[in-house]
Amino acid sequence: MIEVEHLTKRYGSHTAVDDISFTVEDGGIYGLLGPNGAGKSTTMNIITGYISATDGTVKIDGHDIADEPAAAKACIGYLPELPPLYQEMTVQEYLLFVAELKGTRKKADRAAAVEHAAARAGLQGMEQRLIRNLSKGYRQRVGIAAALLGTPKIIILDEPTVGLDPAQMIEIRSLIRDLGKTHTVILSSHILSEVQTVCDRVLIIAHGRLVAQGTPEELAAQLTAKGTITATAQGSREAVVAAAGKVPGLTDLRVTDEKGGEVSFTAVSTAGTDLRGALSLALAQAGCPVLSLSAETMSLEDVFLQLTETPESGKPESDAAPAENPPAEAAAEENEKEADSDESNL
């Protein structure tokens, strides 16, 4: 179990992680979703003890990462965004080296652990290959095998599919799902479709803050309940507007057409629940029969974009992200492209 409380990381005046709290229960696959620069790597680097927090605490199975780093780190296997692989080593040499670093003393134990981790990561037959000659997909597998050494309960993977081609992405996602059967897995990603398909629970991070969390289904249900309702009812404009205006959670009512005793309008539903029933009842009770009613729900993509934009401008804060980080729209386009290319290869 991981307990993160009020975690904050500042780099000078820039707050990369801003008062984040969440709990990761044992078992299952958790996804840290957010655009580039959202604070995912910083959060993971603090959880794994690579960097220290400015404020807040992280406990791994009850061990505070700042006070008991060795005990806390022993619970975790980490694949950083840029895994430190030694290019001139063979897969086996590298994994044996990592096993030794992680404290497996006996040679025979190291060999057995490496064989097991390599098999689990799908590296059979690759043990004698030089790392520099491996594809990016196989290098990720080596990084995952290294993370598995030392028998940690929790595996943390920072953007494990970045830079992979669509076929490799699918293979690595399938490997992650398999790992989720035996380990608690936390992965970060900026690809919505990836966390939707791979993760049991999703934490959405934007501008260093946790903006939503839940199962992909919960998030979709919560968020798609927001949207635009379009309706046409019989009656006078005044009667229709008055009846619809009384439905709690329905805002921004706009009449779009009015002819022959029929009034068409749109309204924004912000209640977090489906308001079609309440609206239709209110209109009927006011003597305005409903002729048509439909709800345009937001897709999870729309919601992700909405959550990761700043409310003031609809754009990411310019001072929160350095110039090299693309804006949310660009990140979303990139997501779509990646998701599209991914889908096309399924």
Ligand X SMILES: Nc1ncnc2c1ncn2[C@@H]1O[C@H](COP(=O)(O)OP(=O)(O)OP(=O)(O)O)[C@@H](O)[C@H]1O
State the residues that interact with ligand X by CB under 6 A: 11, 14, 16, 34, 36-42, 159, 190, 321-322
Query: Which C-beta is closer to ligand X: that of 39 or that of 160?
Result: 39
Least distance to ligand X from the beta carbon of 345, Å? 23
Provide the β-strand partners of residue 295. Answer: 229
Which CA distances in Å does 303 have to 102, 212, 275, 322? 42, 10, 18, 24
Least distance to ligand X from the beta carbon of 239, Å? 51
Query: Which C-beta is closer to ligand X: that of 38 or that of 263?
Result: 38
Amino acid, res. 294: S
Least distance to ligand X from the beta carbon of 56, Å? 15
Name the one residue in this structure whose structure tokens are 């310019």.
318
The two three-digit tokens of residue 301, written as one number: 């993509």
For the range 339-343, what are the long-range contacts, defined as Cβ-Cβ under 8 Å and sequence gap of 24 or more? 339/191, 339/192, 339/193, 339/194, 341/166, 342/166, 342/169, 342/170, 342/191, 342/193, 342/194, 343/193
3-state secondary structure of 32: strand
Yes or no: say if 165 and 137 are a contact pair by the CB < 8 Å rule: yes
The two three-digit tokens of residue 13, written as one number: 């005046």
**Per-residue b or e along 247-274, where b marks 16 or more CB atoms closer than 10 Å to that residue's CB:** bebbeeeeeeeeeeebbbbebebeeeeb
133 DSSP 8-state letter: G
Query: Which C-beta is closer to ligand X: that of 17 or that of 282?
Result: 17
Least distance to ligand X from the beta carbon of 214, Å? 20
Least distance to ligand X from the beta carbon of 152, Å? 21
Query: Which C-beta is closer to ligand X: that of 73 or that of 207?
Result: 207
16 DSSP 8-state letter: E
**What is the Cα–Cα distance from 183 to 185, expressed in whole angstroms?**
6
Yes or no: say if 87 and 35 are a contact pair by the CB < 8 Å rule: no
Least distance to ligand X from the beta carbon of 6, Å? 17
Query: Which C-beta is closer to ligand X: that of 38 or that of 144?
Result: 38
Query: Which C-beta is closer to ligand X: that of 38 or that of 113?
Result: 38
Least distance to ligand X from the beta carbon of 148, Å? 23
Query: Which C-beta is closer to ligand X: that of 41 or that of 104?
Result: 41
